[in-house]
């Protein structure tokens, strides 16, 4: 059974290859992941055919690993949470000496 669908789409008026695999969308602008030296802007139909061939041969798209960055605590949020702060030379520190960023009233909830 066919678990994938390959089509040619457009992103910012440029052709891209869209691969649907296991109900996930993967977008490619070139054939680097399948070791093919073709860009979608040069020949999108050839690149689409290359992706279909690689999928039939057993290649599967890999999901991106999401990197979760810890957002620094801003001054207003810290005060709302009742964090005790110490002011020293125009910098605000936690009790553990971890600095946090300043923010405006619009950025903090």
For 52-97, how does the pLDDT look when each residue is reduced to its tens digit (9 = 90+)? Answer: 999 999 999 988 788 877 767 676 776 666 644 444 444 555 444 4
Rounded to whole angstroms, the Cα distance separating 48 from 5 reads 10
Q: Region of 54 please: left (phi>0), alpha (psi -120 to 50) or beta.
A: alpha
Rounded to whole angstroms, the Cα distance separating 53 from 88 reads 63
* pTM value surpassing 0.85: no
Rounded to whole angstroms, the Cα distance separating 8 from 42 reads 13
Q: What is the 3-state secondary structure (H, E, C) of 13-37?
A: CEEEEEEEECCEEEEECECHHHCCC
* Phi, psi torsion values for 78, nearest 5 degrees: -65, -40
């Amino acid at each position: 059974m066919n678990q994938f669908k390959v089509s040619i789409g457009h992103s910012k008026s440029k052709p891209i290859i869209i691969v649907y695999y296991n109900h996930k969308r993967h977008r490619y602008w070139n054939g680097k992941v399948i070791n093919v030296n073709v860009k979608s802007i040069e020949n999108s139909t050839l690149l689409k055919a290359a992706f279909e061939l690689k999928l039939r041969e057993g290649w599967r798209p890999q999901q991106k690993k999401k990197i979760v960055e810890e957002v620094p605590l801003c001054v207003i949020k810290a005060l709302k949470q009742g964090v005790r702060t110490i002011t020293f030379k125009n910098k605000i520190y936690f009790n553990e000496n971890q600095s946090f960023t300043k923010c405006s009233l619009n950025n903090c909830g």
